[in-house]
Structure 1
Amino acid sequence: MALAANYIRKSADVVGVARNGRATASIIFLHGLGDTGNGWSSLIDEIRPPFMQFNCPTANTMPVTLNLGFQMPSWFDIRSLEFGGTEDEAGIKSAASTVHGMINNEIKSGIPADRIILGGFSQGGALAIYSALTYPEKLAGVIGLSSWLPLHSSFPGSKVCPDSLPVLLCHGDSDPIVNHKFGQLSHSILKTFLKSTQLKTYRGLAHQSTPQEISDVKDFIDQCVPHP
């Protein structure tokens, strides 16, 4: 696994301070396979509240089995796109430890855990979900766009977060890469041990985002981290 357990901010990471000069909330958003922190930073910047700082980190470059071993930014190795397929368990857990380090850095900067949103797209969304579930404190919420629950058979045993963690899953019903059934199955599993999990489906949407989805994400952020 290319990522180190101790997070080191890289030059490709994109961060943004609160517009009003004093951050009281934060969002960490993880990109999808082959992307960088730049891929989502502008959009996150547009929808965040003025009191929220953001961090869009970039994964290290590593060979990805699903893509014939080609090297690209990736949070962990992807070996299959089947819900019950072989997973990179060690890589997922190492990457989650790295994300936990990012969360701890936000807390050290003065942001309470319950005002930190964790989110991501595709592989990044999968890691965000797993990381939030395996973090011992309650985060403000977690967002998974076109993603899935990694190592799903280990839950609820692997869950250490409070049952009240809010989760928003968004998925297009025409996604040819991460099938919509991944979102549906993940939602079904999460509902068994979390009190606030919702799945929003977008008709005709492929493996991408849409203005309506982004509007729903903004509403979720505003709900989870109200103005102080």
Structure 2
Amino acid sequence: MKSIAVSAKSIALFAVTFGITISFVLLNHQNPSPVKPDPMARSFVLWLHGLGDSGPANEPIKTFFSSPVFRNTKWSFPSAPSNPVTCNYGAVMPSWFDIHEIPVTAVSSASLDSPKNEGGLLKAVQNVHAMIDKEIAAGTNPSNVFLCGFSQGGALTLASVLLYPKTLGGGAVFSGWVPLNSSILERVTPDAKKTPILWSHGMADRTVLFEAGQAGPPFLEKAGVSCEFKAYPGLGHSISNEELRDLESWIKTRLQSSS
């Protein structure tokens, strides 16, 4: 796989692009009353940010979910540990696992060639599973657990849902990619295959190409996993208000049907 050379300027731009994932959302949102998590939550939403970002920076996302069905929802916005990232010449930044090249294409997204690469991703998956297990142990029904992620967090969301042994409420991938090769499909349990996936991707994305997103549904079809794919014309590598409104409706439907 050929590496993509990037200048120091483009490295900084890449970090900023992945880091400030919700600036458009925040600038265009009309500050509704925030939904306060209930310690005895009936549902749980775990949000995984993109490369170079942080959990707290994404917390305003939950203010979009103002429907009464979310009044007993607990939200979690963890931050990735700081790690060297190959595509940024080894620069250390918040990263769930290593990324070797940008832009992410349909070809590069499906490559997981070395044990080192796989080990980093699977370690991140184990950490996500621990967060889910903790919430389920606290009393939340797995069918009311939703895992969502943007970009690198979206790729981790997909891997985490496929490798989790139980059926969850759903997994939502935003501008993500398939970080696993087809051999992983042998490890997907029958219960995991029942977890639905929502995949949202901007057609003008130049960081994780739209073709990388389009490769997701066929991959999931091989695993027997249901995937709803939504394309957003003109949207680049960011999250739009429309995507969050669609996510709210998608989760609402599943919360109502599983309550």
Relative to 1, partners in 2 of residues 1:22 and 1:84: Cα closer, same or farther, differing over 3 Å? closer
Partner of 1:183: 213
Relative to 1, partners in 2 of residues 1:86 and 1:150: Cα closer, same or farther, differing over 3 Å? closer
Aligned equivalents of 2:166 and 2:110: distance in 1?
29
Do the aligned partners of 2:112 and 2:179 also contact (CA within 8 Å) in 1? no
Q: Structure 1 length normalisation: TM-score?
A: 0.87
* 2:73 equivalent to 1:52: yes
Partner of 2:11: none
Q: Among 145, 149, 160, which residue is 1:120 paired with?
A: 149
Aligned equivalents of 2:244 and 2:216: distance in 1?
20
Offset at residue 102 of structure 1 (A): 0.4
Partner of 2:122: 93
Q: Structure 2 length normalisation: TM-score?
A: 0.77
As a proportion of its length, which structure holds more helix? Answer: 2
Aligned equivalents of 1:165 and 1:69: distance in 2?
35
Aligned equivalents of 1:106 and 1:56: distance in 2?
14
Aligned equivalents of 1:68 and 1:154: distance in 2?
29
Partner of 2:243: 213
Q: Which amino acid aligns with 2:109?
A: F
Q: Map 1:11-50 to 2 at 5 A.
A: 18=37, 22-47=40-65, 49-50=70-71
**Which stretch of the first structure deviates more once superposed, 157-166 or 195-204?**
157-166
Aligned equivalents of 1:158 and 1:192: distance in 2?
13
Aligned equivalents of 2:229 and 2:178: distance in 1?
13
Structure of greater Rg:
2
Q: Which runs of 5+ in 2 are unaligned?
A: 1-34
**Which stretch of the first structure deviates more once superposed, 203-212 or 193-202?**
193-202
- State the secondary structure of the residue aligned to 2:71: coil
Do the aligned partners of 1:129 and 1:142 also contact (CA within 8 Å) in 2? yes
* 2:99 equivalent to 1:70: no
Relative to 1, partners in 2 of residues 1:152 and 1:86: Cα closer, same or farther, differing over 3 Å? closer
Aligned equivalents of 1:164 and 1:142: distance in 2?
11
Relative to 1, partners in 2 of residues 1:215 and 1:119: Cα closer, same or farther, differing over 3 Å? same
Instruction: Report the RMSD for the aligned CA atoms in angstroms.
Output: 1.8
